[in-house]
Amino acid sequence: MTGLPVGAAVRVRAPASSANLGPGFDSIGLALGVWDELDFLVTAEPGLRIEVEGSGASGVPRDASHLVYRSFARGLAEQGAPAPDGLLLRTRNRVPHGRGMGSSATAIVAGVAAAYGLVAWSRGAARGETGVSGPGTDVVIDLAAVNDLASELEGHPDNASATVHGGMTLSWSDDSTGRTVTAALPLHPELTAVVFVPEATLATHTARALLPEHVPLREAAANSARAALLVEAATRRPELLVPATRDWLHQEARRPSYAASMALVDRLRAQGHAAAISGAGPSVLVLTTLERAGSVLAGEGWDRLVPGIPSTGVRVRVLDPGESPDAG
């Protein structure tokens, strides 16, 4: 296809996520109601301009190595569309970086979704479909394609799929195509999440480096049983959440990298709460019911969030002219 037209502009909102939830390593994810918001505008002025607000603003690059832009460019390439000569990218980061709340997946999904959204908008505008592609309207995008590519770029589908679809997701690789396939789980109406976020950060690659290459068969069998139980607990029987969030694959192996977080997990579980490390840590996630959420406390040193579990994930909307910065 031809390039994106100057003035094409979309706003993307993408939620945070928690992954693993105990035994669902690299396969089960949960969307959290903390949202990054990003604007993409194709400009007449050549070059890439990136403006960043919020979490990580002082540490992220402002060039083509930026994770959102790299994901955006890859999403365009997958559709046969060239990257625009001029682009303004504005990000407002509310998902904490390096805390196990899926900030990298949020960035990747946002970039890929923007690429699919802008291509869809451009094709609709070229056909004169103003009713479905005018300012302020949502752009219908191929969520399955976004999910598959974002999971590939992220390296595993748990966080990415939850950010794409919202709710709780269970993902696997198709045996014949290798593409990521995701099932959205119908959550129990009383299920909610409490997240405890520390000041400390932990890079995902550091946490993954501590994982063992081999797991004893007995532990693998125990973990698979609890992963299956997690689906039952989250969808129909929340009274089973504590046993359903027991893990054998990753948390103990990574205990030295987030000792304070594991101490909190131990303390909360002893109190009867379904606590687990959120993603690669060091945040702690508790799956609970609306009735019990108020009793889930951590003490000083933790930022307590009750973000809710959004039922929908990434959204792409055509920017109104008044919202768009000057196209140059």
Q: What does the pLDDT look like over 176-235, one tens digit per residue? A: 999 999 999 999 999 999 999 999 888 888 888 888 899 999 999 999 999 999 999 999
Tokens of 70: 């790299």
Q: Give residue-wise pLDDT tens across range 235-263.
A: 999 999 999 999 999 999 999 999 999 99
Residues 151 and 162: beta-carbon distance below 8 Å: no
Q: Give residue-wise pLDDT tens across range 113-124.
A: 999 999 999 987
Residue 326 confidence (pLDDT): 54
Tokens of 141: 């995008």
- Which domains are present in the chain? 9-178+311-318 (3.30.230.10), 187-305 (3.30.70.890)
Question: Does residue 20 have a pLDDT over 80?
Answer: yes
Q: How confident is the model at residue 328 (pLDDT cuts 50, 70, 90)?
A: very low
CA atoms of 252 and 163, how far apart (whole Å): 26
Tokens of 277: 């490390």
Question: Does residue 327 have a pLDDT over 50?
Answer: no
Question: Does residue 131 have a pLDDT over 70?
Answer: no
Residue 129 confidence (pLDDT): 60
Q: What whole-number percentage of the chain has pLDDT above 70? A: 94
Say which residue the tokens 């973990």 belong to.
223
Specify the pTM.
Answer: 0.94
Could you tell me how many residues make up the chain? 328
Residues 309 and 191: beta-carbon distance below 8 Å: yes
Residues 317 and 137: beta-carbon distance below 8 Å: yes
**Residue 324 has what DSSP assignment?**
S
Which of 315, 318, 278, 272 lies closest to 297, judged by CA?
272
Chain mean pLDDT for the chain: 93
